[in-house]
Amino acid sequence: MFALSILLFNNFIYPFLTIYTGDDCDKCKYTANSFISGIHKSAGKNFGGGNSLWEEEHLGSYSVSEARYHDIIEGICSDVKHTVKCHEFLENIEHHLEDWWLKDFRNDTNKSEQLEEDLCVIRTKFCCPANFFGPLCNPCPLCYSLGGRCDGNGTRSGRGDCVCSDGYTGQLCDACDLKTHFQSQNESSLSCSRCHLSCSGGCSGPFPENCSACAYGWTSIHSGDHYGCVDIDECFDKPCNSSTQFCLNTPGSYKCISCHSSCNGCSGPTAVDCKSCAKGYQRGDGDVCEDINECNADSNICNGEAEICKNTIGSYTCDCKSGYSRSNNACVLNVKPDKSLETSDNVHTGRCVDGNCNLKIGNLYSNHFSEEL
């Protein structure tokens, strides 16, 4: 038996599954398809050592050689997330791959496309043929050829029950769900097509006029040549908040969508759709509601000492200049205490307001200044 190598194959790229999950049947199919892809990718490649004469004498041609087999094996798990699990599974079934390579592929290189069935159904018995299911590979019911699928189809699991596709019903998925679909049948097959979304309780065809009854949000009309179910325009009754939203009619319903922040009422989602401009905005170029720069419009809008105006979207703020901070609604100069005057018993504190500094000094320094005066 060829030794299994888990080294990555340097010459080829195998862009397969990124997550290695599923039952043994899924893993076997992945392995077989990855091996087949490796056969295609390595076609025409010479022996890795480059000694074609030696290869012909000792190994036969590269196309069916041990070297090519190892090249393919090394690439099978190179592009999956769970490489350890992939290699463990590959190691357990590699003797089947080796036997197939030596006995089947070497005799007929056209058999590569049959590897999945040979490996997964016949040799390992991890899977069943198509349209068979369960541990004994029992035949699936006929639903697979109608409007459904067989539970466990192609695997050693499942119950073989018919799982119906959308719109199909019955034990064999051989009838239409007439509450939501209508039936059309030709000589060869049954087809179940969905009714128009305006229909409720079934239909006889694909159009609104084929409805048995109208769904919620639709109403029936019979006027001249026009009849059937038509959409109700709920926006006509103005169900949305007119100052902050606009109404968008949808088939069978409606949506309330927020206006642009610059709008006071709107007919659409952009600043062009404003009925009027919100506070802090005004009409600009292209009839768009634009932000008012209050700081430019009024130079005295922030008139406190050491205050500066900062424009914001739809408004403004009065901030303190650098070196100042706000205290009691005024901008106050930031003063750092003189460290040389501080003691454990006498700590200097103070602040400056409008340029006048009022300092509070401990008793020791007050007495010292009084003596000097």
Q: Which residue has the tokens 């069978």?
A: 252
DSSP state of 371: H
Check: pTM over 0.75? Answer yes or no. Answer: no
Question: pLDDT value at position 365?
Answer: 38
> What stretch of H or E contains 27?
helix 24-41
Name 44's Cβ contacts closer than 8 Å, sequence gap at least 6: none
Per-residue pLDDT reduced to its tens digit, 156-171:
999 999 999 999 999 8
Where do the domains of the chain lie?
A: 24-123, 132-194, 199-232, 236-292, 295-327, 335-372
* Tokens at 182, concatenated: 């209508």
Query: Coil, strand, or helix at residue 227?
Result: strand
Average the pLDDT over 116-127 and give the result: 95
Residue with tokens 């599923």: 22
Mean pLDDT, range 142-155, rounded to an integer: 86
User: From edge to edge, which strands make up the β-sheet containing 324-327?
Assistant: 324-327, 330-333, 349-353, 356-360
Residue 225's pLDDT is 72
C-beta separation of 257 from 276 below 8 A: no
The rounded mean pLDDT for the chain is: 82
Largest Cα separation within the chain, whole Å, is 123
Q: At what angle do helices 83-100 and 24-41 cross, to 10 degrees?
A: 70
Please compute the mean of the pLDDT values over residues 123-152 and round it to a whole number. Answer: 90
Query: Among the listed ranges 125-129, 178-182, 368-372, which one has the minimum average pLDDT value?
Result: 368-372
Q: pLDDT at residue 45 above 80?
A: no
Q: In which band, very low, low, confident or very high, does the pLDDT at 264 lie, cut at 50, 70 and 90?
A: very high
Q: Which band of pLDDT confidence, cut at 50, 70 and 90, is reported for residue 16?
A: very low
Q: Give the model's pLDDT for residue 84.
A: 87
Buried b (16+ CB within 10 A) or exposed e, 123-133: bbebbbeeebb
The whole-angstrom distance between residue 261's C-alpha and the CA centroid of its chain comes to: 29
Contact 21, 82 (CB under 8 A): yes
Mean pLDDT of 106-128: 91
CA distance 317 to 136: 79
Tens of pLDDT, residues 179-191: 999 998 666 778 9
- For residue 371, the Cα-to-chain-centroid distance in whole angstroms is 81
- Nearest alpha carbon to residue 184 among 205, 200, 169: 205
Backbone angles phi, psi at 144, to 5 degrees: -65, -25
254: pLDDT strictly greater than 80: yes
Instruction: Give me the half-sphere count of Cα atoms (radius 13 Å) on the Cβ side of residue 206.
Output: 5
**Cα(194)–Cα(90) distance, integer angstroms:** 46
**Quick one: which of 110, 96, 119, 13 has its CA closest to 63?**
110
DSSP per-residue string spanning 87-117? HHHHHHHHHHHHHHIIIIITT-GGGGGGHHI
**Lowest model confidence (mean pLDDT) among 7-16, 57-66, 283-292:** 7-16
pLDDT digits (tens, 9 = 90+) for 339-348: 665 554 544 4
Over residues 236-240, the mean pLDDT reads 96
Residue 149 is predicted with a pLDDT of: 92
Comparing 160 with 363, the larger pLDDT belongs to 160
Provide the pLDDT for residue 130. 92
Query: Residue 3 — pLDDT band, cuts 50, 70, 90?
Result: very low
Percentage of the chain modeled with pLDDT above 90? 52
207 compared with 1, residue with greater pLDDT: 207
* Distance, CA of 278 to CA of 314 (rounded, Å): 8
Summarize pLDDT for 49-99 with one digit per residue, the tens. 555 555 555 555 777 888 888 989 988 888 777 788 889 999 999 999 999
Alpha-carbon gap, residue 203 to 221, rounded angstroms: 16
- How far apart are alpha carbons 232 and 172 in whole angstroms? 39
